[in-house]
Structure 1
Amino acid sequence: MANLIRFKTATLTALGFQRNGVWGEETAAQKIEHLGLMFGALAASPKGPVKGFGVPLGQLTFGLLVFPGVWDWYLQWRERRRGFYTTWEEDMLSVLLNLVRAETGWLGNIPNSSAM
């Protein structure tokens, strides 16, 4: 998470890196909260009160976010809990698109081991 925040908030990217847009302090705090909630849901037990996905903590990585099935589960989980979708879900999908964008996405700009 720290690497993502550093990448998205730095005034300039490191040599050889590209990105689309910069996050200010408030945006970064919001993304940390949203991604934290998402990873919390993914890690929570399916048998517990949260009815999460049950991903073991040691296997939680940003790499999971490239799988459509993970997003499908998460969006359905959000809708079941709230009863409807909001712009929050749209924002999270926008975050995903920015993470995986071919030339400027964070996941495409870093070695595989750094995304973990």
Structure 2
Amino acid sequence: MTAASSVTPPTPLTPALLQPERDDDQREVRASTSRHSAGDGVVPRLVEALRAAEAPIGPLSYVATVDDVIVGHVLLSACRLDAPHQLVDGLRRSFPVAPSPHASECCGVR
């Protein structure tokens, strides 16, 4: 047996399910985004403001789950693209994806 063949192969990562955020997910989403705002609460307040803002296209909020545990969150909010001859309404990712502490345990996300 060579040294290379004695190495244990990596375990496969658990796939996450991406689904629309539900009202009862918001507490965990707030906790997850709070961990990414340097303790100043800016990111959770931004998420709340984007959810409440009037816009031609409403925000889309998604959570990634593994075994019904939220492991990440992403929010798409309204934007305007300056296309030739017109402005076009669209959606953009509002800030980096916010992984929860569970993500490193199940999905290899840091």
Q: State TM-score, norm by structure 2.
A: 0.31
State the structure with more CA Rg.
2
Which structure carries more strand by proportion? Answer: 2
Which structure carries more helix by proportion? Answer: 1
Q: State TM-score, norm by structure 1.
A: 0.30
